[in-house]
């Protein structure tokens, strides 16, 4: 495993690639991590993978017990028919949004700062969607019949209700996962070829060679690669907006106070990107330190990600104000009671917690010194992740546990199986993440080399322009004197 590389110069937060890097150093620093022999893998990786694997086993035990006993092992009741299963589903889907935004939208906008973090964020997206996809299926009660949600010719006489947003979820999430996987795999092709050419073990060379799909770096290959990337980016861009908008309609289409808010679609999308960037920072900072990638993921990258997090966070805060304003302005006693219940009900702690985590804790990000302070970013990102989970808890639980009939009121209390399944999905997420870190390049090698080439060309042009200006000024200064 590649050891921490020395930093060539001080990172002042003004560059996306520290000076001193070459094409060879980029390929070796990033590419040698997956090519390292298994017995040379650092102990830290085995420790992290071991903890993740234990949590994954907890996930399998929880799912097995759920299939044996049914959804009654959860804390759901009447009227709270949606509990931690849907809370965690929305939370995990939200975490996956940062990867697609970084990959697709920033590619179309030609933002160079995405080069160092897009591969890691895309992988995080796929693993988060894999975790999220478990919950709606397990929530069905008879998860082995989940294929009934898919419109296929059958003899059951059963067809999905295309007017239901729950069925829209099936198409939105499956399309999102499919396009994200294709985008991720297409971006890996040039790097697979790099690993194939650098590998010394014949078996490893063959495996990466098969994965590279015959990539040779020809002009035709690069042309097709760029066309495919732009096409997939164009497909992914509306998905960033549509997937979480559709999930918000799961709520907004129901006759439940607090859910009939027109701001829900943009509010959910902004919250998803907000939570996703917080998770990218939370995971990328330790990986950057452990593997010595400070030259590629610089302080400026962290600063820009913190700015995006602040911007989307303020949109979320605006959504909170609109919810309060809508409740007070609507003159609906049900909406106003929901606001009262959030402020002073049995779960008021969750509402005050989300206001602190998502509205108050992000305010220090207005200052550059905080945005470029790594411990501060880690703490704020952790607080935001907790706050976004509390937001889903408030939207679902507080809205449901006080319904229209007081005789049906009840308190929602998650059981140990709710928590074990939630912890288990972390095991699934981090197991996949540790395997990704071990066998694939975490940072896009060829895009970093391309960025180095562009910066070198820009430096040469600036030097030539300054030299021309100097000669021009020199001629003006001495021409008249020589004539005299």
Structure tokens at 295: 């030259």
Q: What is the reported pLDDT for 11?
A: 66
What distance in Å separates the CA atoms of residue 316 and residue 30, rounded to the nearest whole number?
A: 36
Please indicate, yes or no, if residue 463 is contained in any of the structural domains: no
Q: What is the rounded average pLDDT of the residues 71-76?
A: 92
Please indicate, yes or no, if residue 471 is contained in any of the structural domains: no
CB contact at 8 A, 429 and 131: yes
CB contact at 8 A, 30 and 296: yes
- What is the phi-psi region of residue 278: left when phi exceeds 0, alpha when psi lies from -120 to 50, beta otherwise? alpha
- Cis check: omega of the bond before 79, within 30 degrees of 0: yes
Question: What is the residue whose two structure tokens read 């990218």?
Answer: 280
Please indicate, yes or no, if residue 469 is contained in any of the structural domains: no
Q: What is the reported pLDDT for 478?
A: 43
Is the pTM higher than 0.75? The answer reads: yes
pLDDT tens digit sequence for 163-174: 887 888 888 888
What is the pLDDT confidence band of residue 480, given thresholds at 50, 70 and 90? Answer: very low
Give the number of other Cβ atoms within 10 Å of residue 103's Cβ: 27
Q: What is the reported pLDDT for 477?
A: 44
Length of the chain: 484
Given a cut of 80, whether residue 302 has pLDDT beyond it is yes
CB contact at 8 A, 388 and 278: yes
What distance in Å separates the CA atoms of residue 106 and residue 83, rounded to the nearest whole number?
A: 35
Given a cut of 90, whether residue 423 has pLDDT beyond it is yes
Q: What is the reported pLDDT for 474?
A: 54
What is the pLDDT confidence band of residue 154, given thresholds at 50, 70 and 90? Answer: confident
Please indicate, yes or no, if residue 15 is contained in any of the structural domains: no
What distance in Å separates the CA atoms of residue 14 and residue 282, rounded to the nearest whole number?
A: 22
Given a cut of 70, whether residue 240 has pLDDT beyond it is yes
Average pLDDT over the chain reads 86
Please indicate, yes or no, if residue 95 is contained in any of the structural domains: yes
Tell me the residue range of the domain where 370 lies.
23-151+159-457
Domain count, the chain: 1
pLDDT tens digit sequence for 253-297: 888 888 888 888 888 999 999 999 999 999 999 998 988 888 888
Please indicate, yes or no, if residue 6 is contained in any of the structural domains: no
Q: What is the rounded average pLDDT of the residues 408-421?
A: 92
- With CA atoms as reference, report the closest residue to 86 among 143, 124, 137, 142: 137
What is the pLDDT confidence band of residue 89, given thresholds at 50, 70 and 90? Answer: very high
What distance in Å separates the CA atoms of residue 75 and residue 466, rounded to the nearest whole number?
A: 70
Please indicate, yes or no, if residue 4 is contained in any of the structural domains: no
- The CATH number assigned to the domain holding 400 equals 1.20.1630.10
Residue 330 half-sphere exposure, CB side, CA atoms within 13 Å?
Answer: 19
Please indicate, yes or no, if residue 234 is contained in any of the structural domains: yes
- With CA atoms as reference, report the closest residue to 388 among 148, 50, 129, 93: 93
Residue 364 is classified by DSSP as G
Question: What is the residue whose two structure tokens read 């970013």?
Answer: 377
């Amino acid at each position: 495993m590649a050891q921490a590389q020395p930093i060539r110069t001080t990172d002042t937060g003004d560059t996306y690639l520290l000076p001193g890097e070459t094409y060879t150093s980029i390929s070796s620093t990033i590419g040698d991590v997956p090519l390292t022999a298994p017995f040379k893998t650092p102990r830290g990786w085995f420790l992290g993978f071991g903890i993740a694997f234990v949590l994954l086993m907890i996930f399998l035990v929880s799912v097995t017990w759920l299939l044996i006993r049914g959804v009654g092992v959860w804390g759901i009741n009447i009227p709270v028919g949606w509990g931690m299963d849907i809370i965690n589903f929305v939370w995990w889907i939200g975490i996956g949004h940062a990867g697609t935004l970084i990959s697709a939208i920033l590619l179309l906008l030609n933002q160079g700062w995405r080069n160092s973090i897009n591969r890691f964020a895309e992988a995080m997206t796929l693993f988060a969607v894999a975790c999220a996809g478990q919950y709606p299926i397990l929530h069905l009660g008879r998860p082995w019949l989940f294929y009934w949600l898919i419109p296929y010719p059958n003899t059951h006489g059963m067809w999905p209700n295309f007017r239901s947003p729950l069925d829209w979820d099936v198409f939105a999430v499956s399309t999102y996962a499919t396009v994200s996987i294709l985008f991720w795999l297409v971006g890996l092709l040039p790097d697979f070829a790099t690993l194939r050419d650098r590998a010394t073990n014949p078996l490893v060379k063959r495996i990466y060679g098969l994965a590279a799909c015959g990539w040779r770096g020809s002009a035709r290959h690069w042309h097709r690669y760029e066309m495919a990337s732009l096409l997939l980016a164009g497909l992914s861009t509306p998905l960033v907006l549509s997937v979480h908008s559709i999930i918000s309609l799961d709520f907004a289409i129901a006759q439940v106070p607090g859910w009939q808010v027109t701001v829900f679609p943009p509010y959910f999308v902004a919250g998803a990107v907000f939570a996703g960037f917080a998770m990218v920072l939370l995971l990328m900072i330790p990986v950057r330190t452990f593997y010595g990638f400070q030259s590629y993921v610089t302080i400026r990258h962290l600063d820009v990600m913190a700015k995006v997090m602040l911007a989307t966070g303020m949109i979320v805060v605006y959504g909170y104000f609109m919810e309060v304003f809508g409740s007070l302005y609507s003159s609906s006693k049900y909406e106003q009671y929901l606001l009262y219940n959030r402020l002073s009900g049995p779960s008021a702690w969750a509402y005050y917690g989300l206001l602190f985590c998502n509205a108050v804790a992000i305010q220090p990000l207005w200052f550059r010194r905080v945005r470029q302070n790594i411990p501060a970013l880690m703490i704020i990102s952790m607080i935001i992740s907790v706050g976004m989970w509390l937001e889903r808890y408030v939207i679902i639980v507080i809205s449901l546990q006080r319904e229209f009939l007081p005789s049906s009121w009840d308190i929602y209390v998650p059981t140990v199986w709710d928590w074990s399944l939630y912890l288990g999905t972390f095991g699934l997420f981090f197991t996949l993440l540790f395997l990704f870190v071990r066998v694939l390049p975490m940072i896009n090698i060829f895009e970093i080399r391309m960025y180095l080439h562009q910066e070198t060309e820009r430096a040469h042009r600036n030097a030539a322009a300054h030299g021309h200006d100097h000669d021009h000024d020199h001629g003006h200064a001495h021409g008249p004197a020589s004539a005299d």
